[in-house]
Chain A
Amino acid sequence: MYRDGAALDNVTLSIAPKEFVSIVGHSGAGKTTLLKMLLAQERPTDGSVFFESVDVHTLPKSSLHHYRRKIGMIFQDFRLIPNKTAYENIAFAMEAAGRPDDEIATDVPYILELVGLGGKAHHFPHQLSGGEQQRVAIGRAIINQPDVIVADEPTGNLDPVNTFEVIEILKKINELGTTVLITTHNKGVVDAMGRRVITMENGRIARDDAQGHYIL
């Protein structure tokens, strides 16, 4: 029977710690839905998602935020908080996690420096370019030292130069020991990486190559 409107169908995969995994596929192939399930934004009708040994869909809504602090999220459209400065956007993730003030005061400038925005700490998102906004978003994603970075089309809205920079930052994060999971349309990004590539088609996994290329 063909899928009746389901975005994902019979998908089974596991990702080991410290892997760098690219998920590729056409629009509507189910890449974003897969990530949303990982974040417990959506529930599967059947099956389960495990993070370490926890089935994330059994977590009550009231404690989801603890789980989400272990995952740094990066979006195609950046999703910064518009009335907070670059500094405050990054600090927000730490404040929300209940980290003390002195830690925030030392970590946020360090991260801003790391993503190359040391001079633009007090700019609001609308005063920053797309690439700069995405770098703020990356800063926000990594500030709490998550176990996993999940990036949904992080370079989708960026020009080639910014795409390259963002991917370089993600690689660096991965080398420091964080699992990175990205979805992308960008052939150049995937081919240059030479890492594991999962290809999705119509909600199923079509290929899963340890050192893959962008093949559709």
Chain B
Amino acid sequence: MMMLRRIFVAGAKSFIRSGSVSFATVLIMTVTLMIIGFLVFLSAVLSNTLVSIQDKVDVNVYFTPAASDSDIATIQEEIEAIPEVAATTYTSREEALIQFRERHADDELTLRALDELGENPLGASLSIKANDPSQYEGIVQYLENDLGGSSFIDRINYFQNKTVIDRLTAAIKATARAGSIIVFLFALASTIIALATVRLAIYSARDEIAVMRLVGASNMYIRGPFIVAGILSGVFAGLITLILFYPAAWYAGSATAIWLGGFNVFTYYVDNFAVFFGVIVGAGVFLGGVASYLAVRRYLKV
């Protein structure tokens, strides 16, 4: 207990006294931790985008105008009975017409043609959501086999959407992978630089370490203060990173929310602050501690 206290005090003292070296170490570690934090943001943004895109996948069953509400209700019940189906949304003929008019509000010609027609040419539709995107295939199969013969069904639109969505998903996944690899390489490179910085700081103390050995200090007692100083560097670098992320996320949040499909980086940062704190300060402590441990070990062989 007494030794632990002495180790801690000695570590804190040497961290403060070797001010410029500690400052450089903290700075380099801050850069590393920012890249690691960026990795967390990136994975959150990408997985969120992927989820929101996959959420847009659905199957629409279009009914002929002749189908009555009660006919459709029967079919809807039947579909909802399928275990893979999460939910169905019914859009009536009238609603379809209103949506159509809204969509073509600027298109005078189409609207006039519609008015000319006098009656509602659109059919009702049922949009189906599956529990999992991979289950659509099976649901469509079922619909075609069991209901394909039904004269009320006009068409099922799954296949034309599917290719677009598949391509989009593949593109996002590829971007995610490439992005993750690049950021990971950056994180790796800056981790190595941080390790080298810590090692350099301890290299300058190698004679000291030898003297400590010769005046009878145990390895653990010599190593301890260096590890404490390394951990302190990590904690400071972590806190600086967290503080810098706050305005950065705030700025990036409002600038990119629309572009990221409503995903706000700032809100994510604030909501998941505990996770960020854990990851960034934890990585800092780990990096500083392990780097110091390894660096001192080389000079303890006296």
Chain A residues within CB distance 8 Å of chain B: 39, 41, 61-62, 64-66, 68-69, 73, 79-83, 92-93, 95-98, 100-101, 140-141, 144
In this complex, what residue of B is CB-closest to A67?
B216
**CB within 8 Å of A: which B206-244 residues:** 207-208, 210-219, 221
- Give 6 pairs: A residue, B residue, CB < 8 Å, sorted on A: A41-B302, A68-B214, A83-B14, A95-B6, A96-B212, A98-B2
The residue from A73, A80, A144 contacting B214, defined by CB atoms under 8 A apart: A73
Q: Are B216 and A83 in contact (CB under 8 A)?
A: no
Given contacts A41-B302, A81-B211, contact A68 B216 (CB under 8 A): yes
CB within 8 A of A41: which of B3, B212, B214, B217?
B214
B167 in contact (CB, < 8 A): no
Q: Is the beta-carbon distance between B216 and A69 smaller than 8 angstroms?
A: yes
B157 to chain A, nearest CB (A): 74
Q: Residue-by-residue, is B1-45 near A (CB-CB < 8 Å gives 1, otherwise 0)?
A: 011001000100110011000000000000000000000000000
Q: Could you tell me the distance in whole angstroms from the C-beta of A84 to the nearest C-beta in chain B?
A: 8
- What's the minimum C-beta distance from B5 to chain A, rounded to whole angstroms? 9
List A contacts of B210 (CB < 8 A): 79
Once bound together, how far apart are the Cα atoms of A92 and B217, in whole Å? Answer: 9
User: Quick check: A79 and B6 within 8 Å, CB to CB?
Assistant: no
Tell me the complex Cα distance, A95–B218, Å: 11
Give the distance to chain B from A90, nearest Cβ to Cβ, in Å. Answer: 10
> Which residues of B does A touch, CB under 8 Å?
2-3, 6, 10, 13-14, 17-18, 207-208, 210-219, 221, 301-302
Is B6 within 8 A of A68, CB to CB? no
Are A39 and B214 in contact, with the CB atoms below 8 A? yes
- Taking CB atoms, residues of chain B closer than 8 Å to A100 are 2
Classify the secondary structure of B's interface with A. Answer: helix
Bound complex: CA A79 to CA B78 (Å): 88
Chain A residues with CB under 8 Å of B214's CB are 39, 41, 68, 73, 79
Asked if A65 meets B217 with Cβ closer than 8 Å, knowing A41-B302, A100-B2, A101-B2, the reply is yes
**Which of A62, A66, A81 makes the CB contact (< 8 A) with B208?**
A81
Q: Is the CB of A82 within 8 A of B208?
A: yes
A66 with B6, Cβ < 8 A, contacts A81-B211, A82-B208 known: no
How many contacts between A and B, using CB within 8 angstroms?
56
A83 CA / B302 CA spacing, docked (Å):
21
Which of chain B's residues have a CB closer than 8 A to the CB of A81? 208, 211-212
- In the complex, how many angstroms separate the beta carbon of B217 from the nearest chain A beta carbon? 4
Expressed in whole angstroms, the Cα–Cα distance for A69 and B217 within the complex equals 8
User: Which residue of B has the minimal Cβ distance to A83?
Assistant: B17
Closest chain B residue, CB of each to CB of A141: B215
Give the CA-CA distance A152 to B6 in the complex, in Å. 30
Given the known inter-chain contacts A41-B302, A82-B208, please indicate yes or no for A98 contacting B3, CB distance below 8 A: yes
Kindly name the residue among A41, A65, A68 whose own CB sees the greatest number of chain B CB atoms within 10 A. Answer: A65
Q: With both chains docked as a complex, state the minimum distance between the C-beta of A70 and any C-beta of chain B, in angstroms.
A: 8
Task: Looking at the assembled complex, report how far the CB atom of B232 sits from the nearest CB atom of chain A, in whole angstroms.
Answer: 15
A69 to chain B, nearest CB (A): 4
Say whether A96 contacts B302, CB under 8 Å.
Answer: no
Task: Determine the distance from Cα of A41 to Cα of B216 in the docked complex, in whole angstroms.
Answer: 12
- Other 18 A-B pairs with CB < 8 A, given A96-B217, A96-B221, A141-B215: A39-B214, A61-B301, A62-B219, A65-B217, A65-B219, A73-B214, A73-B215, A79-B210, A79-B214, A80-B211, A81-B208, A82-B208, A92-B217, A93-B215, A95-B6, A100-B2, A101-B2, A144-B216
Chain B residue numbers with a CB within 8 Å of A83 are 13-14, 17-18
- Whether A79 contacts B207 by the Cβ 8 Å rule is yes
Complex CA–CA separation, A82 to B207 (angstroms): 10
Docked Cα-Cα span, A100 to B5, in Å, equals 12
Query: Roughly how many angstroms separate A62 CA and B210 CA in the complex, as a whole number?
Result: 14
Asked, given contacts A79-B207, A81-B211, A82-B208, whether A97 binds B216 with beta carbons under 8 Å apart, the answer is yes
A174 to chain B: closest CB distance in Å? 20
Closest A residue, CB atoms, query B300: A61
Out of B3, B10, B218, name the residue touching A65 (CB < 8 Å).
B218
Known: A41-B302, A82-B208. A92 touches B215 (CB 8 A): yes
